[in-house]
Structures are given as C-alpha cells and as structure tokens.
C-alpha cells in the first residue's frame, strides 16, 4: 500500500507546488486530484496498491473532517444570530435544488432518447 | 502514586483528543450500523456530539483540541486526491449522456448556489455566512479547502455541507416521486450534485446506475466548484 500512499501524497505535493508557482486560486489538493485523474486516464488502469490507499482514505472520510467541523464551537455567535436564515437557506435551498437538478437532467435525458 | 502527574499528562498530550476522536467515531460507526444506517445517525454526528460535550465540559479551547487532532486534518489533502479514483471508474458513463450531464452540472450547480445564497441574503445574513454557504453541495474535503481559499469560515462550511447531505438523503426519494422523475440516472446525478457523499450513499440504495451517476456528479461538481468559485468571488470583490 506504500506505493499507493506515496502516489496520493506526490500528486497532492505536485498540485500544491503548481498552485503556488502560478499563484492559482484553485486549492492544491484539487489540482492534485485532477492530475491523478488525467494520469489514470492516460494509463487506462489503476493498480492494487493505489486502490488500497484510496479505499482506506475514503472509507473513513467523514472522520477526516471532524477537526475542521469542531470549529463550530467558535461560531456560536453567528449561528445563534442567523439561525433562521441559515435553516431556511439549507432546507428550502437543498430541496428546491434537488428537485430542479433531477427534473432538468430527466427532461434532457428523455429529449436525447427521443432523438435517437 | 502521583495523581497530579497523571492528570497533567492526560490534559496535555495530543493522544487524549486523538483517542477520543477516533474512539467516538468508531462508536458512531457501530451505532450507525446497529440502526440499519439511519441517515440521521451518521457516525460523524454521534462523534461530533460526543466530542463537543467533552470540549464544553472540560472548558477546552478549539485551538487546543485542534492541536491534538491536526494529524487527522492533514489527511484531507491526500483524501481529496484519492477522490480521483472513484471519479475515474465512473467516467465511462459520461459519454452515454454527455449533453444532459454537462448542462445539468453547470445550470443546476449554479442554480443551487444562487438559491441558497439568495435566501440567506434576503433573510439578512452576513457575508461570512453567505460565503460559507457557497460550498454546501460539494464533498466536505473539497469544501473545507475551498472555503479556506475564498475567505469563508471552514467550520461553518462543513456544518452546512453535512446538513445539506442529510436533507438530500432524507427527502430525495420522496421529492423524486413527487416530481415524477423517470430515470435512475437523473435521481443519482441530482443526489450526488446537491448532496455529495451522503447523497451518494443514498443513491446506492436506489440502483447501481444511480450510484455511479451520483459519484460522477459529486466528483466533477466538486472540481468545477473548486476551480471556478474562487475566481468568481475574486472577480466580485
């Protein structure tokens, strides 16, 4: 699995370096992700060691954002002051967006099928 | 016995918070699986409530807590890179529905941000909250690093991401029925685009095709947001 971990870290490193070098606003790890995607597309396959390294990272993904998420305890003021705005935006925003996305995709899919 | 030395050690070593975080997450997983993966019992929520009570009870500062678990936070970077693999594996589906995918990604992706931000603005929320809402539909690791980039509050952003995921997973199926959505590919794509990983977990229960399209939407949606959002925000301000 070491080779897989080295691969992930190298692509992150490369991504961060490119972001710094060209003063890009895109986060380094996302550039690393795109580069790894291109690498896999060119190579046309993954390898076992990378599969293992990826699955261990993604299996416990939610664990990885607990440290950042816990920062919520420093935001009590904002949340209590804007509680209703946040709640309405999250609930209504998500429900409307979900309906809109699914319907749009469905209409476009049906239209494409008719053309064939 | 030197009780004072023991207390001093426990309250100063990063191991304490590391063990509490890992342990409570493990307990979260056990509870989640015991209750048939109930959406509201996500392992992170159980772990979250547990750690927050301890932090508040022991009057620990966030900086102190973060120092202990910084090593966990570090792995967000490689985990983001790792997202390339599931995206690569599902990329083959893009060809079958190229135009619908592309149009939905851009139009629905932008719409989803605008409606959430618009509601906040109308209801009088302040700028940091509004900025933190812009990453609500992308997977948490990308949301955290992107929100840092655009001057939002990462912890608020993750909170919004998790709640958006849960709302989508809870109501998705009912909404699709109500909207008379025909194709599983549309359902999966919407779940991944709006409710990222938590939505994708729900899409797996719909069908394999739905899950693949959900992972596809989550991956590309995450990349596009991370690339264009900082540019747009820099352009506006």
What tokens appear for B179 in the block? 């909207």
Give chain A positions within 8 Å (CB) of B126. 78, 82
pLDDT at A116 over 80: no
The overall average pLDDT reported for chain A is 92
pLDDT in tens, B136-193: 999 999 999 999 989 999 999 999 999 999 999 999 999 999 999 999 999 999 999 9
Instruction: Choose between B111 and B95: higher pLDDT.
Output: B111
The mean pLDDT of B86-106, rounded to a whole number, is 91
Share of chain B residues as helix, strand and coil, in percent rounded to the nearest 5? 85, 0, 15
> Helix A28-43 crosses helix B208-236 at what angle (to 10 degrees)?
140
At residue B83, the 3 state secondary structure works out as coil
- Is B141–A29 a contact, with Cβ atoms under 8 angstroms apart? yes
Mutate to test the interface with A, among B44, B62, B81, B148 (most CBs of A within 10 A): B81
Distance CA A111, CA A33 (A): 33
State chain A's maximal CA–CA distance in angstroms: 56
> ipTM strictly over 0.90?
yes
pTM value is 0.90
Helical spans, DSSP H, in A1-116: 2-21, 28-43, 48-59, 61-64, 66-69, 76-81, 83-115
Q: Do A93 and B84 touch (CB under 8 A)?
A: no
Residues B143, B15: Cα–Cα separation, whole Å:
27
Question: Is residue A6 within 8 angstroms of chain B, CB to CB?
Answer: no
């Amino acid at each position: 699995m070491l080779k897989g971990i080295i691969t992930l870290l190298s692509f992150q490193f490369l991504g961060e370096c490119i972001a710094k070098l060209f003063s890009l606003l895109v986060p380094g790890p996302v550039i690393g992700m795109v580069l790894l995607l291109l690498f896999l597309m060119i190579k046309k396959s993954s390898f076992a060691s990378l599969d293992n390294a990826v699955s261990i990272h993604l299996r416990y993904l939610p664990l990885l954002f607990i440290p950042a998420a816990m920062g919520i305890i420093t935001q009590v003021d904002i949340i209590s002051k804007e509680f209703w705005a946040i709640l309405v935006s999250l609930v209504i925003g998500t429900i409307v967006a979900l309906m809109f996305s699914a319907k749009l995709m469905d209409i476009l899919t049906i239209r494409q099928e008719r053309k064939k | 016995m030197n009780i004072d030395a023991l207390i001093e050690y426990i309250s100063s070593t990063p191991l304490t918070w590391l063990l509490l975080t890992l342990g409570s997450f493990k307990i979260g997983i056990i509870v989640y699986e015991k209750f048939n993966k109930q959406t509201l019992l996500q392992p992170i929520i159980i772990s979250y409530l547990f750690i927050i009570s301890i932090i508040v009870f022991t009057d620990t500062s966030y900086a102190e807590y973060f120092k202990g678990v910084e090593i966990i936070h570090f792995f967000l970077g490689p985990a983001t890179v790792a997202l390339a693999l599931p995206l690569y594996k599902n990329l083959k589906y893009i060809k079958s529905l190229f135009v619908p995918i592309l149009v939905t990604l851009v139009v629905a992706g932008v719409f989803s941000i605008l409606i959430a931000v618009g509601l906040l603005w109308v209801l009088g929320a302040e700028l940091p909250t509004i900025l933190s809402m812009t990453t609500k539909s992308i997977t948490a690791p990308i949301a955290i690093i992107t929100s840092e980039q655009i001057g939002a509050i990462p912890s608020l952003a993750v909170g919004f991401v998790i709640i958006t995921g849960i709302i989508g997973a809870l109501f998705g199926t009912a909404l699709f029925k109500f909207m008379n959505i025909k194709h599983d590919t549309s359902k999966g794509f919407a779940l991944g685009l709006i409710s990222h990983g938590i939505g994708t977990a729900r899409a797996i229960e719909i069908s394999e095709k739905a899950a693949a399209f959900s992972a596809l939407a989550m991956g590309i949606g995450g990349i596009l947001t991370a690339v264009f959002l900082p540019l747009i925000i820099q352009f506006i301000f």
